[in-house]
Amino acid sequence: MNATLTDAEGASTAGSARELAARLPERGFFWLDLANASEDEYAAVAAALHLDDSLSSWLPRFGRSAHLESSPRYLRISAWADAGAQGIVEGHILYSPAWLITAFDGDALCTEAARQRFRELRDRIAVDPGYALLIVLNELLTGFYPRLERADELLDRLEDQIFLDPVAEQLLSLADLRRELSSLHRLLVPLRDRVKNVVTSLGRFPGISEEVWPAFQTYSERLAELVEVIDDYRQRTADAMEAHAANRANQQSEQINRLTVISWVFLPISFLTGYFGMNFDWAVNQLLSTRDAFLLLGVGLPLLSLVLTVLLFKSLGWLGAWRRKSKHAKRNRPDWVRRARHHRKHREGDTTATGRPANGR
């Protein structure tokens, strides 16, 4: 099953694209959703809807940049949707006042939620079909928020781990996350710019009523907001990578300091060993010839130097410094860890045509 037909009453029928193309409703607005359809199936749909060559060839032609074009009869948009483990899939949306066609080169996760909203708003869609287009467009944006929530949770966990104990695996996770966010940013920025330019220059699309047009402008704002949130996550990921490098450098510096302290402990003992290791006759035959001299000079002096070194470290506050630093670190996170999670934006008031808050949650 690679197609779903939703009629004016909100009833959905699944099947192959070729089968549903032969059963398109003759009356009432409908929505045909295609996923992973073949070129022959796209051709069958185009023939059933009497699409011209430019539209029939555009529907299955994925892998291109963002596109938004309006004509007196149609509005076509290239957009993207979250597909879970498959990543991001491209979608082509073709709208007319009589029907809506969506075609994806994968299984978009948002389509079922869009069909549910379609059923809830079917009375409004029957009066003004432009709401159906807004439902799909807004659900495409809403579908990205779970992915960003997972990124937020991952960053929370990695930031704490990096601050306490930076390891190489954390840097690999951050690099993968940055690559994913950069890819999403690269796809959505051209779409944001295209939608903004068209909305600003045209004022209104053919087939989109004055009642629906403000909601379309809200979609443009939501798209811009989504890109800003992705930018924030990218910056936060870059900050975490910089913090990882800084903490690793601090960790190595601490290790060097510990080795330095250890060398300080053994430096006086090494000096005494070297001094008494010189085989002068007077030292061997006179100074160190008795057991008492051995115990006093051979054992007592090294122990005394060790005690004096420990007392010096204590007076300088070096003893227990690392334990105090660890406890202090657990109680006092730096600003980049403590700061509020600014990605969770809750807005009250106006809602979009989908009935969802403007932030998509």
Cα(310)–Cα(330) distance, integer angstroms: 27
Please tell me the number of Cα atoms within 13 Å of 231 on its side-chain side. Answer: 8
Of 14, 16, 8, nearest in space to 38 by CA: 16
As to burial, measured by CB atoms within 10 angstroms (0-12 exposed, 13-18 middle, 19+ buried), residue 144 is buried
Cα(121)–Cα(157) distance, integer angstroms: 40
Over its C-alpha atoms, the chain yields an Rg (Å, rounded) of 35
| pLDDT of the residue at 344 | 43
Of 35, 207, 33, 1, nearest in space to 107 by CA: 35
Average pLDDT, the chain: 81
Structure tokens belonging to residue 52: 């011209």
Note the pLDDT tens digit of each residue in 314-358.
787 766 655 555 554 545 444 544 443 444 444 334 444 444 544
Cα(340)–Cα(62) distance, integer angstroms: 40
| pLDDT of the residue at 256 | 81
Note the pLDDT tens digit of each residue in 188-229.
999 999 888 877 776 666 667 788 888 888 999 999 999 999
3-class state of residue 293 by DSSP: helix
Least confident of 127-131, 168-172, 308-312, 346-350: 346-350
